[in-house]
Chains A and B, each alone.
Chain A
Amino acid sequence: MATNSIKLLASDTHNGLAGLVSKRLGTPLTNVAIKRDSNKEVSFSIGESIRDEDIFIIMQIGSGIVNDKVVELLIMINACKTASARRITAILPNFPYARQDRKDKSRAPITAKLMADMLTTAGCDHVVTMDLHASQIQGFFDIPVDNLYAEPSVVKYIRETVNIDEAIIISPDAGGAKRAAGLADRLDLNFALIHKERARANEVSRMVLVGDVTDKVCIIVDDMADTCGTLAKAAEVLLDNGAKKVIAIVTHGILSGNAIKNINNSKLDRVVCTNTVPFEEKLPQCPRLDTIDISGVLAESIRRLHNGESISYLFRNATL
């Protein structure tokens, strides 16, 4: 009988991340069916009893279909709630609408807050996410939010693939300086910053480099890469300033719009993303893309959450 065990739910079974997490936990994905009707509404059913179980819904949100995925997630959460699940945890490695987190002009919506309200209303008891654009978003919720970090996995990747002696960490904008500086400290590396004057959203203007990158392997670190215009421009600035080569490591590789074209035309040696966002189908189009697998972190956090253990160990240490 039901004994409050882990139940993993995912909307798409070709969904790579959920499969990886399920494999790591040794727990098969729960049998569910999602149907998208011709009028684009979503219907959902769960094929086994989840009464009194500990539910974890893994939702990877790719670019272009954000609203569809969010509604899908809300319906899934609500279905679990009404089916008497004991606890529902939404795992949103890439939190949607995270960038609309403040009222930056008159009558602008704070959509991140709206997202938080929506998740709570649907019946979510716990949220697990990764590298929130602004960690203050946790405060929008009345339920616990665990913000995991990709940093340990990134540190591991850098140690394994880059010659540390000639590397330098770069923050592509002032907002990400803290994140980049933290990583530089972890790796005991130097740190430089690119300051940009942004004209409009998704558009890049003039860039100024602060720091010395001569003959260095530059590692640009950011939390998300959308159209990759900023990264490409930053790479140019760095190479103009005497850098040897430029690698970009981002947590959320949203890679929307002309991103692939921008990367292919850029002077970036490599663009490394974690698999928080599904971008497998883009890999063949762009040989410069590389992946860091963070399914281990998610799987371990699920295990710890389920058993009531501390999560904070994962903030500093990567899983194998």
Chain B
Amino acid sequence: MSVFADALVAAGQLLLTADASLGDITLLSLRVSATATLIAALLGLPLGAWVALTGSRLRLPTLVVLNASMGLPPVVVGLVVYLLLSRSGVMGPLGWLFTPAGMVMAQTILITPIIAALARQTIDDAHLSLRDWFNSLGLSATQRVATLLFEARFSLAVVLLAGFGRAIAEVGAVMIVGGNISGSTRVMTTTIALETSKGDLPLALALGALLVALVLIINGAAQWLKSWLEQQRG
């Protein structure tokens, strides 16, 4: 199992030498997945709230589709976005294929259902305990959504972290849509795939360890922020 020892050494070297291209790759990973999470949150949270609160006949079908879409295969999303963004596709004129914008689009499609479905559940639960209070105040739908989103904000933060985790960890979609172009669309997961195919398994594993560490740090920071905010509130 010397490959694990080699990987540890490689990870240490990567960090110590503060490899410039590794820095770019890591930043791009963060930028693409954070942007996708932000857009997915702006789309998914209202959508989740709507499904939670609506009396529409579309509620049940939407709910089933959302829940099922949490399992969208990244490679299929990648392929569909590739065909859309291709110069021969309907969104070709945008020129987004093989750019970070295209990668953001793919990851947004991938995680919006996750954020919407989990937010729906969270808001449903919160609404159950607040419904009578809302009725007594006679709040409008928009006011209800805003209040629920605020009251459930800590649980929703976990929902966003789940979406972000899925985005930054996937390789299938960004590989196809981004093209893994060195210095342009290469992110951590595609680098890991590339180093694996070059047979440099210790380096690939070291990059994997760094990716996991990065996600850990982000989750740790979110947890710390939550505790801090709760303390502030008293």
Is the A/B pair a real complex? no
B-to-A contact residues, CB < 8 Å: none
